[in-house]
Chain A
């Protein structure tokens, strides 16, 4: 019987969990450490209204938001203005940031996406009801760390994707991809991160009872 590891590669589509885990990849340590720092800075903005922390977040994220909006079809001056807005929204809505449910990049992404819908389509964006309890005042540090680690491994897995598959994901977020095309990328990656978030939501509901 032949050794399965020598079998020719099969096309598995976009099942990211087959990609290298965090510990195999030298870059993840940096990503993770950086992201932990972003969380600490964001918490200082949220709890202490710390403008130095805000400046550090701005310097790192504003150029990325601008690049993201340009990818989505905005011209440079508009993208610049919107990146400014996104960062000031981050300041004003900081109380909603919950590190047990999102990394700083994820949270900024949601603000930037809503700004993009407003800017390119002139539409409002219907949002789900807030969870009535808001962020837990003292979220479990293990939850925070685990979520940040999963987010970091997601980045690593995505960076390791073959170019055509990565392109497909980028198209799904930056262009209008049809639902059947999108269905090709939802076999996807998010198994563990999804159950982690589900667990966090269940715990929060339970704690409120």
Chain B
């Protein structure tokens, strides 16, 4: 798999530092699961974090703290099993409660379906299914929108996006992704502000269906 569309460095740094909203952490984890280039990027920013930790001002621990820690080493904790190898990376499966078959879709009209995932309210994460050959309604956003392809592919003004590719759009972009023929297109979409549809009807729909 060759991934052509990557995450911006600022997002990789934010993920490494641990300062992104939960929904963005989720899309970064999902993309990095599929993309070695961005994994190397995140691990580089981790190295910068390690350098900061190394130089952090020492704050002395209580005299008994080492003893306490040594006692706790004998507590055994079962390793958490991870499920890898599905359509969804493990991090996403944790939020869905399983792989693709477990998604609780809601119809949005014209064959498009979505499922909002439970994250903190600072940003929204949703899975979106666009039938092959169909288009998403035209929309712009107030903030940043990131779209990660998990199955199928789509084209928009920025190019062709297949599994693992990530499309980053900010407030300046109005775009109409069109799903490629061959398979329904399933994406993880994260926004830090609601979408704005440019046509009147979807705006009404937006209020009803909550995207």
Measured between alpha carbons, how far is A108 from B56 in the docked complex, in Å?
13
Decide if A112 is an interface residue (CB 8 Å cutoff).
yes
Contact pattern, B 57-86, Cβ under 8 Å of A = 1, otherwise 0: 111111001101110110101000010100
Query: Is chain A's binding surface mostly helix, strand, loop or mixed?
Result: helix
Is A189 a contact partner of B55 (Cβ separation < 8 A)?
no
Is A129 a contact partner of B33 (Cβ separation < 8 A)?
yes
Measured between alpha carbons, how far is A17 from B197 in the docked complex, in Å?
45
Q: List, in ascending order, chain B residues with CB within 8 A of A146's CB.
A: none
Q: Give B residues with C-beta under 8 Å from A.
A: 8-11, 13-14, 16-19, 22, 25-26, 28-30, 32-33, 36-37, 39-62, 65-66, 68-70, 72-73, 75, 77, 82, 84, 89-92, 94-95, 120, 144
Is B40 a contact partner of A64 (Cβ separation < 8 A)?
no
Decide if A37 is an interface residue (CB 8 Å cutoff).
no
Q: How far is the CB of A59 from chain B (nearest CB, A)?
A: 7
Residues A127 and B91 in contact in the complex (CB < 8 Å), given A66-B59, A88-B69: yes
Is A79 a contact partner of B59 (Cβ separation < 8 A)?
yes
Decide if A87 is an interface residue (CB 8 Å cutoff).
yes
Residues A132 and B30 in contact in the complex (CB < 8 Å), given A126-B25, A198-B37: no
Is A126 a contact partner of B36 (Cβ separation < 8 A)?
no
14 further A-B pairs in the complex, CB-CB below 8 A; given A58-B66, A62-B61: A63-B61, A68-B53, A71-B57, A83-B65, A88-B73, A107-B50, A109-B52, A113-B17, A128-B30, A158-B52, A177-B19, A182-B10, A190-B44, A198-B40
Q: How far is the CB of B134 from chain A (nearest CB, A)?
A: 29
Q: List, in ascending order, chain B residues with CB within 8 A of A88's CB.
A: 69, 72-73, 75
Q: How far is the CB of A135 from chain B (nearest CB, A)?
A: 13
Near B by CB (< 8 A), chain A positions 99-121 give 101-103, 105-110, 112-114, 116-117, 121
Is B53 a contact partner of A105 (Cβ separation < 8 A)?
yes
* Residue from the list A102, A158, A205 in contact with B36, Cβ < 8 A: A205
Q: List, in ascending order, chain A residues with CB within 8 A of B95's CB.
A: 126
Decide if A25 is an interface residue (CB 8 Å cutoff).
no
* Residue from the list A58, A107, A129, A159 in contact with B84, Cβ < 8 A: A129
Identity of the chain A residue whose Cβ is nearest the Cβ of B11 in the assembled complex: A179
How many chain A residues sit at the interface, stated as a range, is 35 or more
Measured between alpha carbons, how far is A70 from B25 in the docked complex, in Å?
23
Residues A129 and B91 in contact in the complex (CB < 8 Å), given A88-B73, A201-B40: yes
Measured between alpha carbons, how far is A123 from B24 in the docked complex, in Å?
13
* Residue from the list B37, B39, B49, B69 in contact with A128, Cβ < 8 A: B39
Measured between alpha carbons, how far is A202 from B62 in the docked complex, in Å?
44
Measured between alpha carbons, how far is A113 from B48 in the docked complex, in Å?
13
Q: List, in ascending order, chain B residues with CB within 8 A of A201's CB.
A: 36, 39-40
Q: How far is the CB of B166 from chain A (nearest CB, A)?
A: 14
Residues A169 and B61 in contact in the complex (CB < 8 Å), given A113-B18, A129-B90: no
Is B70 a contact partner of A106 (Cβ separation < 8 A)?
no
Residues A65 and B44 in contact in the complex (CB < 8 Å), given A113-B18, A129-B90, A201-B36: no
Is A55 a contact partner of B66 (Cβ separation < 8 A)?
yes
Is B13 a contact partner of A109 (Cβ separation < 8 A)?
no
Decide if A19 is an interface residue (CB 8 Å cutoff).
no
Is B54 a contact partner of A155 (Cβ separation < 8 A)?
yes
Is B51 a contact partner of A185 (Cβ separation < 8 A)?
no
- The 4 A-B pairs at the shortest CB distance, nearest first, are namely A106-B50, A186-B9, A126-B91, A126-B29
